[in-house]
Structure 1
Amino acid sequence: MGSLLAIALILLLAMLLIGTILYLLTARRYQSGESVARSYDEWTQDGILEFYWGEHIHLGHYGSPPRRKDFLKAKADFVHEMVRWGGLDRLPRGSTLLDVGCGIGGSSLILAQDYGFNVTGITISPQQVKRAQDLTPPGVSAKFLVDDAMALSFPDASFDVVWSVEAGPHMPDKAIFAKELMRVLKPGGVLVVADWNQRDDRQIPLNLWERTVMRQLLDQWSHPEFASIEGFSELLEATGLTEGPVTTADWSKETLPSWPDSIWQGIARPAGLVKFGVPGLIKSLREVPTILLMWLAFSVGLCRFGMFRAVRKERL
């Protein structure tokens, strides 16, 4: 028995070593929107991310205070919590909603099916659009398009709601991103954003190890920069399109269990090893150091999970 445990430990350490080496040698540094699209095209085509993370490629909501939940249920719950927090459940069915950075459509489909929104989901990844279209049941009011959040193709005042989850870190110019989100809202329309954010370094500058951690979080998942909650809310207000101040919240505690849960999926669901084989295992191991760093950064307050709600002015 002891020898089997020793062998298992050696194999685990060997796999972690392989993952760490790949992590260090194959960084996905942000270069342009095309580099982001390529990364998501690859993640979508190989199917590993969808297998473990489901159709909702975002963190889950585990309650306040957090409690144990099924990983995939927590992700669906996140959508419902965000709808309630943003007051979107009070809007009439048939309201138009733009999902910016829709991934493979998980949130968009809940918004269309459960709340009656007429949803348009956009992503920079053609493979994500194709997969979202494949996952959309007949008769559901959700369509998916390739579009760039830095230069949305829609006219001013096109949507009753603009919704975005964890897309902001991919945006190279947060001021332009903020302006585009507000621009396509109708007067009186509601913007609701959930994002990974960095601690406001204008208040407490980052020390050496914090800068090192943030550099890795940027370089490994094609992120040019993280905004702070305070900084992005200021950028939204600076557009001159918001009615009063932007409402913000910090959901770091509610979403924190997502990180260890995402690693646990690889252990608890061995069918993935059968489905994707050794290449899939190696690809999965390559992501573990970044997930662990994310868990660390959100645990100590270096990163924060920011929520933003803004209303478009009735008149300019």
Structure 2
Amino acid sequence: MSLFLTSFIFLVLILFFLYLVLWRINTRKYISSGTVASAYDSWTQDKLLERLWGEHIHLGFYPPNKNIDFREAKVQFVHELVSWSGLDKLPRGSRVLDVGCGIGGSSRILANYYGFNVTGITISPAQVQRAKELTPHECSCNFKVMDALNLKFEDGAFDGVWSVEAGAHMNNKNKFADQMLRTLRPGGYLALADWNSRDLKKYPPTTLEKIILKQLLEQWVHPQFISIKDFSNILINNKNSSGQVIFDNWNYYTNPSWFDSIYEGIRRPNAILSLGPRALVKSVREIPTILLMDWAFKKGLMEFGVYKCRG
């Protein structure tokens, strides 16, 4: 092996080691709901996530045998979940709660396309501010800073409850489900999607999988993941649920989102470069977690759970 090649490999290994060290130092461990709020405030204020992912901070839905753009897939996801959950059976003017609304992308579709009167809540003040900035005055959406584990609404206040990829940030899954179902009127529709682990009691993780799960928890402020079956049981056994809960795993439809989220930076380099050098560093910093997510979902360690039930 030539001296040049040996030196090059050594340099790459050193840089990779330093990168891993820095990556570990800058973890975003879940400590409390405050750490979730701080993380999303930061992601919103630096505008990097919005520049790359658009108005929807969730995965997309990729129909089989159809080429679809990363951002189009996110819009497609909203329509697919509305249809699958039965939320589209609600008449125009129905009151819908969006739990974990982000910067309001899904809320605006629910309001503009389906005619719902939408209230979006998030624990991040920066997200609420940005959601209001992006929402036209005539759009029937309003946004509030609120903890999903302590909803300040009366029992049965909503005809529909919608939540996408918020539950993974909740340290009490029972209370998360209870608050949503409490505010859902009898006969109303719950539409929910979330990141779940496989059943780790039935299929214990290997040492490698334990390491990967730890990284996925610590990098994006997640207290814990639970299985699709475990969360469906929480919904079934809740006193405000009809007990008729249907669930599915949408890994097949959503998995392309992970690599597409990286490609988006290549397709739209100015979205990053226009924000300055720090934005480039921040975007590169997220790539290992995205790749781990992609691996975990493809291998079945993680599952994309969707749930529907009636109040």
Which TM bucket (shorter chain)?
over 0.9
Identity of aligned residues (%): 52
Aligned CA distance change for structure 1 residues 11 and 188 (closer, same or farther; 3 Å)? farther
Letter in 1 for 2:55: E
In the alignment, which residue of structure 1 is the partner of 2:213? 214
Following the alignment from structure 2 to structure 1, what is the Cα–Cα distance between the partners of residues 228 and 174? 13
Normalised by the length of structure 2, the TM-score is: 0.93
8 Å CA contact 2:191–2:307 kept in 1: the answer is yes
Aligned CA distance change for structure 1 residues 12 and 117 (closer, same or farther; 3 Å)? farther
Q: Secondary structure at the match of 2:113?
A: helix
In the alignment, which residue of structure 2 is the partner of 1:28? 28
RMSD over equivalenced CA pairs, Å: 1.9
In the alignment, which residue of structure 1 is the partner of 2:256? 257
8 Å CA contact 1:18–1:282 kept in 2: the answer is no
In the alignment, which residue of structure 2 is the partner of 1:3? none
Following the alignment from structure 1 to structure 2, what is the Cα–Cα distance between the partners of residues 159 and 25? 43
Aligned CA distance change for structure 1 residues 137 and 10 (closer, same or farther; 3 Å)? farther
Letter in 1 for 2:58: H
8 Å CA contact 1:251–1:306 kept in 2: the answer is yes
Matches within 5 A, 1:1-316: 20-63=20-63, 65=64, 67-312=66-311
Aligned CA distance change for structure 1 residues 133 and 26 (closer, same or farther; 3 Å)? same
Aligned CA distance change for structure 1 residues 178 and 276 (closer, same or farther; 3 Å)? same
Aligned CA distance change for structure 1 residues 38 and 11 (closer, same or farther; 3 Å)? farther
Q: Secondary structure at the match of 1:150?
A: coil
8 Å CA contact 2:61–2:77 kept in 1: the answer is yes
Following the alignment from structure 1 to structure 2, what is the Cα–Cα distance between the partners of residues 72 and 15? 33
Normalised by the length of structure 1, the TM-score is: 0.92
Aligned CA distance change for structure 1 residues 11 and 110 (closer, same or farther; 3 Å)? farther
Letter in 2 for 1:89: D
Letter in 2 for 1:58: H
Kindly report structure 1 stretches of 4+ aligned residues shifted beyond 6 Å.
9-18
Following the alignment from structure 1 to structure 2, what is the Cα–Cα distance between the partners of residues 51 and 61? 20
Aligned CA distance change for structure 1 residues 19 and 263 (closer, same or farther; 3 Å)? farther
Following the alignment from structure 1 to structure 2, what is the Cα–Cα distance between the partners of residues 257 and 66? 13
Following the alignment from structure 2 to structure 1, what is the Cα–Cα distance between the partners of residues 121 and 15? 36
Shift of 1:18: 6.5
Following the alignment from structure 1 to structure 2, what is the Cα–Cα distance between the partners of residues 51 and 18? 28
Shift of 1:288: 0.5
- Provide, for residues 35-83 of structure 1, a one-character-per-residue CA deviation record: whole Å limited to 9, x for no partner: 00000000000000000000000000001x3643211000011000011
8 Å CA contact 1:95–1:117 kept in 2: the answer is yes
8 Å CA contact 2:51–2:272 kept in 1: the answer is no
Following the alignment from structure 2 to structure 1, what is the Cα–Cα distance between the partners of residues 30 and 199? 22
Q: Secondary structure at the match of 1:189?
A: strand
Of the structure 1 ranges 19-28 and 95-104, higher mean CA displacement relative to structure 2 is found in 19-28
Q: Provide structure 2 residue ranges, at least 5 long, that are not aligned to the other structure.
A: 1-8
8 Å CA contact 1:19–1:287 kept in 2: the answer is no
8 Å CA contact 1:41–1:127 kept in 2: the answer is yes
Of the structure 1 ranges 177-186 and 203-212, higher mean CA displacement relative to structure 2 is found in 203-212
Following the alignment from structure 1 to structure 2, what is the Cα–Cα distance between the partners of residues 235 and 227? 11
Following the alignment from structure 1 to structure 2, what is the Cα–Cα distance between the partners of residues 16 and 257? 26
Shift of 1:84: 0.5
Q: Secondary structure at the match of 2:274?
A: helix
Number of equivalent positions: 303
Letter in 2 for 1:272: A
8 Å CA contact 1:112–1:142 kept in 2: the answer is yes
Of the structure 1 ranges 291-300 and 194-203, higher mean CA displacement relative to structure 2 is found in 194-203
Letter in 2 for 1:207: T
Letter in 2 for 1:103: G
Following the alignment from structure 1 to structure 2, what is the Cα–Cα distance between the partners of residues 267 and 35? 30
Q: Secondary structure at the match of 2:276?
A: helix
8 Å CA contact 1:158–1:186 kept in 2: the answer is yes
Following the alignment from structure 2 to structure 1, what is the Cα–Cα distance between the partners of residues 229 and 253? 19
Shift of 1:102: 0.2
Following the alignment from structure 1 to structure 2, what is the Cα–Cα distance between the partners of residues 11 and 263? 25
In the alignment, which residue of structure 2 is the partner of 1:4? none
8 Å CA contact 1:104–1:128 kept in 2: the answer is yes
Following the alignment from structure 1 to structure 2, what is the Cα–Cα distance between the partners of residues 208 and 254? 28
- Provide, for residues 106-163 of structure 1, a one-character-per-residue CA deviation record: whole Å limited to 9, x for no partner: 0000000000000000000000000000000121100000000011111111100000
Following the alignment from structure 1 to structure 2, what is the Cα–Cα distance between the partners of residues 37 and 163? 20
